[in-house]
Amino acid sequence: MDKRGQFYIILAIIFSLLFFSIVTPQNKVQEAILLEDFNQISGNYVEESPKVANYGIFKDREIKQLLSEYTDDFLDFAQKRNPTLELIYIYNNGTNVTVKSYASESATIEFGQETQTLFGAQEETINNINLNVAGKDFTQQVPLQIKNFGDEFTTAQFPSTKNAILNLGGVFHNFDLSNKGPELNVLLRSRQGSIVQIYRTGSSREFPVKV
């Protein structure tokens, strides 16, 4: 790949805000603020993350690592404003596809005839810790997030394909991966009571980068 040329990260934006149940009047102001924050935060990630991938292309860096580090830092900041924010990104370099989940529950990703289970980095598992105090054994149950067990649990990789279907919380999201060249798709989700907000990418949009 000629790094002096012009590269494109194909990023598409489809706004899909899903609302469930009736909003009570006393909650309207708070939920409107959270909705505005969610759109603003999501838009920020969608705008900035392609720049991270482009930087990796130009500098011949490991893009998966750069995206992972950037997303970790982004969520550390964003979840202070919206603690329920979750995120999944799908990066296709034209040869392989990497999917990483920062959700609070497991998802499945279907590509071709195969399906993989993807644990969410914010998903919790209960673990027993055994302590011996003064000759007596004690067992304490401690919740741990899946991210503490390593990226292999929250990341799926597969050869480039024309499309992938992500099932998160029983909602199916179809991503078109047929475009050639580097491509980044993102799904963000937030919950406030019975309201679920979804912000995702999906249709073609090119982001030219000037050298």
pLDDT tens by residue, 140-165: 544 455 555 557 778 888 888 888 99
**Statement: residue 201 has pLDDT above 60:** yes
**In this structure, how many other beta carbons lie within 10 angstroms of the beta carbon of residue 15?**
11
Q: Is 162 exposed, middle or buried (0-12, 13-18, 19+ CB in 10 A)?
A: exposed
pLDDT of residue 138: 54
The residue-averaged pLDDT of 110-136 equals: 70
The residue-averaged pLDDT of 167-186 equals: 88
The residue-averaged pLDDT of 163-179 equals: 90
Structure tokens given for 55: 């930087």
Q: Is 78 exposed, middle or buried (0-12, 13-18, 19+ CB in 10 A)?
A: buried
Among 30-44, 83-97, 133-147, the range scoring the smallest mean pLDDT is 133-147
**In this structure, how many other beta carbons lie within 10 angstroms of the beta carbon of residue 128?**
8
pLDDT of residue 136: 64
pLDDT band at 205 (very low <50, low <70, confident <90, very high): very low
CA pair distance 69, 63, nearest whole angstrom: 10
The residue-averaged pLDDT of 36-55 equals: 89
pLDDT of residue 190: 92
Domain residue extents for the chain: 8-208
Among 1-15, 23-37, 39-53, 120-134, the range scoring the smallest mean pLDDT is 1-15
Q: Model pTM?
A: 0.70
**Statement: residue 24 has pLDDT above 50:** no
